[in-house]
Amino acid sequence: MQGGSRRLKIFDWSRRKSPWAFHLNTGSCNNCDIEIVDVLTPRFDVERFGILLQGSPRHADVLLVTGPVTRQVLPRLKRVYEQVPKPNVVVAVGTCATSTGCYEGSYNIVGPVDRVIPVDVFVPGCPPRPQAIIDGVVAALEKFKVERSD
């Protein structure tokens, strides 16, 4: 239906132009989390792209996940992912979220993140530079376009 597809295009455009993000720490050392918060501060200022960090997963379009997933966080990670409305994109920020980094072999690590939830974009780095995180979010937003076209 033409009316229906026109409405969906508008939603898709607004998601890309003003994505709201929710940040989830699955046991990281906090470096990647500080760099994510840094991306909001005056030096990098992603609010000019319409990106806002939200307090509830239900308000999010982009899920930023850091950390190798620890055992205690595992059920919470799954629950939060179920609460984020579809369509959404998941960005795994940092080497730990991509591959557990130097924590491989520990008894309490069940990650990396893509073992638990599907991940769209990986941003390796320890921690990744804020510019790389911006690149990651921009690449993730392209996925909104691809998802809608099929």
Question: Would you tell me which residues interact with other proteins (CB under 8 A)?
Answer: 24-35, 37-38, 41-45, 48, 54-57, 67-68, 70-73, 76, 80, 95, 98-110, 114, 120-129, 131-132, 134-136, 138-139, 143
The nearer residue to other proteins, 88 or 98, going by C-beta atoms, is 98
Q: Minimum Å distance from CB 50 to other proteins?
A: 15
Q: Minimum Å distance from CB 14 to other proteins?
A: 21
The nearer residue to other proteins, 15 or 141, going by C-beta atoms, is 141
CB 141 within 8 A of CB 147: no
DSSP state of 129: P
What distance in Å separates the CA atoms of residue 10 and residue 5, rounded to the nearest whole number?
A: 9
CB 13 within 8 A of CB 100: no
Residue 140 tokens, joined: 């993730």
CA nearest to 121, candidates 102, 110, 134, 105: 134
The nearer residue to other proteins, 19 or 68, going by C-beta atoms, is 68
Residue 4 tokens, joined: 């229906």
The nearer residue to other proteins, 2 or 85, going by C-beta atoms, is 85
Q: Minimum Å distance from CB 142 to other proteins?
A: 9
Number of H helices, E strands in the chain: 5, 5
Q: Minimum Å distance from CB 117 to other proteins?
A: 14
Beta bridge partners of 23: 64
- The amino acid at residue 70 is T
Q: Minimum Å distance from CB 95 to other proteins?
A: 6
The nearer residue to other proteins, 3 or 91, going by C-beta atoms, is 91
